[in-house]
């Protein structure tokens, strides 16, 4: 007879990565069938309910802790609860132990302690974010802000302050950057080279830099700006600042700008700024039907793979072969927002309405993110899905649970997933996903296809080739780009046999070449001697925000 335990600890906060690690350790204890230590957010409470735990969520919130255990007997359940408490107590202590002194308690204190620091990495609860950004900027530091939690007006104000100081504010909600070969957030082990990237998309940067790496072409710098930078409220402040820096960086020869569909006026401003750099540029705005007016030297790519092919000066990937057809709805389950958006745009171009929690059109918004309606795409990295949880590229548990349900649904013909490798991501995402894929395909022989867009570089710590082999052995069909995976999914669902055509780059003028400029060097602001970033020396305050680690 199994035994269940549910404990609610009000006013008890631990960051989501710690809770994920503690939950996994508890699940590995003898006799334990299921264990979870989570913040009491709506997403987590619903997941616990689906796992069979009865939790009264009335009055609970993200600052409250819920611990649930199901074990083979009473003794095993009690022991598991004791171990969870011990693990959480251990996680909260010992900061700075053995380091020769206490760690700095603020960004400004860290900057005073080491004058060579020039970058702050912020991952804190959203309610503290504006204060921490202001402190970092006052200390003269560039900021990489992984957390979210600022409204657009506050974000714009912070970015104007950064620009006035000649600093970069990458974020909020910035997932990826690569500065002078140093990866920040989720970044891949890609080679150095002549292509500079500016991205209002973390996974968009990752896919483009990984595709370039696969073609033998490297990245000089990849500057993330946060997902809302090209909104009308923010106005592209940091995108314009990044383009200015890259214009004066000698090793950077050509540029790629990445975003979900931007505000039209901001897009035009970005196109003009790209032309002013004097370096050939492509604008990669997946899902945007009509590009802004393109000045000479600026082009438009409607997909990330087309942008990478342009930057690498190669042809887009060859169409995938004809798969076995498994008719039914396409269910896209993504950890990367721009990868989700791009794939969704490809599918919608063939089938029309696709519902999502990040919809292409307002009327296509998914009523309940936990329940699909026909062709459905879910971004599990969206803010509401990550509150109180680690990002799905770190903790795939929520998506794995949804995969089981979608794969078992007889109305599903194809499940489309992304698997993103690199620093900061799960150490073995294919190892977690492959058993689920194998079980799902075995349960519905000839009735289900699983398509995976694998984003990674050969030198990534997870091992690109090994990850690909694991997924193929489980029966997944693999591509290296989200757009290609979407076309393959359409073909697998029998919805568009012509869907494997590559997306084009629209060209306005021949590519110039032989351009030069200033290299990135440590310095306070634009235009003066030594303007730019230099090799980042980060100062990191603890904590998290919005599910970011």
**Are residues 140 and 87 both part of a single domain?**
no
The domain spanning residue 77 has which CATH number? 3.30.1360.30
| Same domain? 294 vs 376 | no
256: pLDDT strictly greater than 70: yes
Q: Tell me: the pLDDT tens digits for 28-51?
A: 899 999 898 988 888 889 888 888
- Give the model's confidence band at 546: pLDDT under 50 very low, under 70 low, under 90 confident, else very high: very low
Please say if the pLDDT value at position 522 is more than 50.
Answer: no
* pLDDT above 70 coverage of the chain, percent: 87
Determine the Cα–Cα distance for residues 549 and 185; give it in Å rounded to an integer. 9
Closest CA to 238 of 212, 277, 200, 265: 200
pLDDT at 545 over 50: no
Residue bearing the bigger pLDDT, 60 or 98: 60
Q: Which residues pair with 414 in a beta bridge?
A: 330, 449
**CA distances (Å), origin 333, targets 178, 210, 340, 387, 404:** 26, 21, 8, 18, 11
Does residue 506 sit within a domain? no
What is the per-residue pLDDT across 282-324, written as a single tens digit (0 to 9) for each? Answer: 999 998 878 899 999 999 998 999 999 999 998 767 666 789 9
Q: Is 309 in the same domain as 414?
A: no
Q: Which domain CATH number covers 454?
A: 3.40.50.261
Structure tokens that stand for 25 in this block: 């350790």
Residues 6+ apart with CB under 8 A from 13: 39, 62, 63, 65
Can you give the pTM of this predicted structure?
0.83
299 with 507: CB under 8 angstroms?
A: yes
CA distances from 426 to 10, 286, 303, 429 (A): 29, 26, 26, 6
pLDDT tens-digit readout, 413-423? 999 999 999 99
pLDDT digits (tens, 9 = 90+) for 345-367: 999 999 999 999 999 999 999 99
- Residue 115 shares a structural domain with residue 86: no
| Domain co-membership, 358 together with 487 | yes
Look at residue 100 and tell me if it is in a domain.
Answer: no
Residue 531 confidence (pLDDT) above 80? no
- Domain's final residue, options 62, 91, 120: 91
Residue 508 lies in a domain: no
Question: Between residues 105 and 194, which one has the greater pLDDT?
Answer: 194
Spatial contact of 195 and 219, defined as CB atoms under 8 Å apart? yes
Domain total in the chain: 3
Domain boundaries, position 365: 329-492
Q: What's the rounded Cα separation, in Å, for the pair 389 and 403?
A: 18
Please state, in angstroms and as integers, the Cα–Cα distance from residue 325 to each residue in 275, 318, 409, 445, 489, following that order: 45, 20, 17, 12, 9
For residue 502, pLDDT over 60 is answered with no
Judgement on whether residues 161 and 243 belong to the same structural domain of the protein = yes
Listed range (126-130, 206-210, 276-280) with the worst mean pLDDT: 126-130
- Tell how far CA 180 is from the center of its chain: 21
pLDDT, greater one: 528 or 193 = 193
pLDDT computed for residue 41 by the predictor: 85
Residues 311 and 340 in one domain: no
The pLDDT of residue 401 is 94
């Amino acid at each position: 007879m199994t035994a269940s335990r549910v404990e609610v600890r009000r006013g008890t906060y631990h960051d989501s990565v710690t809770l994920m690690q503690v939950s996994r350790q508890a699940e590995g204890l003898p006799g334990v069938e299921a264990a979870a230590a989570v913040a009491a957010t709506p997403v987590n409470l619903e997941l616990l309910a689906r796992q069979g735990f009865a939790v009264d969520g009335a009055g609970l919130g993200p600052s409250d802790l819920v611990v649930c255990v199901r074990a083979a007997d009473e003794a095993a359940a009690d022991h598991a609860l004791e171990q969870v408490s011990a693990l959480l107590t251990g996680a909260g202590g010992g900061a700075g132990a053995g380091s020769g002194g206490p760690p700095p308690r603020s960004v400004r204190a860290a900057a005073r302690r080491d004058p060579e620091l020039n970058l702050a990495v912020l991952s804190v609860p959203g309610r503290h974010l504006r204060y921490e950004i202001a402190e970092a900027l006052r200390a003269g530091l560039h900021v990489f802000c992984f957390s979210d939690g600022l409204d657009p007006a506050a974000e714009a104000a912070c970015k104007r302050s950064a620009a006035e100081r000649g600093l970069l504010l990458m974020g909020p909600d910035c997932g990826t950057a690569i500065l002078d070969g140093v990866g920040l957030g989720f970044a891949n082990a890609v080679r150095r080279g002549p292509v500079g990237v500016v991205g209002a998309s973390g996974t968009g940067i990752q896919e483009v830099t990984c595709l370039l790496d696969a073609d033998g072409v490297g990245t000089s710098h990849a500057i993330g700006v946060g997902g809302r930078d090209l909104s009308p409220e923010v106005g592209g402040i940091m995108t314009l600042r990044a383009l200015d820096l890259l214009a004066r960086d000698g090793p950077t020869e050509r540029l790629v700008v990445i975003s979900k569909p931007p505000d039209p006026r901001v897009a035009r401003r970005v196109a003009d700024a790209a032309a002013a750099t004097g370096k050939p540029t492509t604008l990669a705005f997946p899902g945007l039907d009509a590009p802004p007016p393109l000045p000479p030297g600026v082009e438009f790519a409607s997909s990330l793979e087309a942008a990478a092919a342009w930057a690498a000066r190669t042809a887009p990937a060859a169409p995938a072969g004809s798969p076995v057809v498994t008719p039914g709805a396409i269910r896209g389950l993504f950890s990367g927002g721009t990868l989700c958006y791009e794939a969704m745009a490809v599918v919608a171009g063939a089938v029309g309405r696709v519902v999502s929690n990040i919809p292409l059109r307002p009327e296509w918004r998914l009523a309940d993110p936990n329940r699909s309606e026909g062709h459905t795409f879910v971004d599990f990295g969206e803010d509401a899905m990550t509150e109180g949880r680690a990002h799905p590229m770190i903790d795939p548990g929520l998506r794995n649970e949804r995969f089981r349900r979608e794969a078992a649904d007889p109305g599903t013909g194809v499940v489309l997933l992304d698997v993103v490798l690199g620093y900061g991501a799960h150490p073995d995402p294919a190892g977690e996903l492959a058993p689920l894929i194998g079980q799902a395909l075995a349960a519905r022989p000839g009735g289900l296809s699983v398509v995976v867009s694998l984003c990674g570089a050969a030198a990534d710590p997870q091992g690109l080739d090994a990850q690909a082999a694991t997924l193929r052995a489980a029966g997944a069909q693999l591509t290296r780009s989200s757009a290609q995976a979407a076309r393959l999914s359409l073909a697998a669902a029998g919805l568009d046999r012509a869907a494997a055509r590559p997306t084009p780059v629209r060209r306005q003028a021949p590519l110039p070449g032989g351009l030069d400029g200033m290299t990135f060097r440590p310095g306070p602001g634009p235009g003066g001697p030594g303007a730019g970033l230099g090799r980042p020396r980060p100062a990191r305050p603890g904590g998290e925000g919005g599910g970011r680690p």
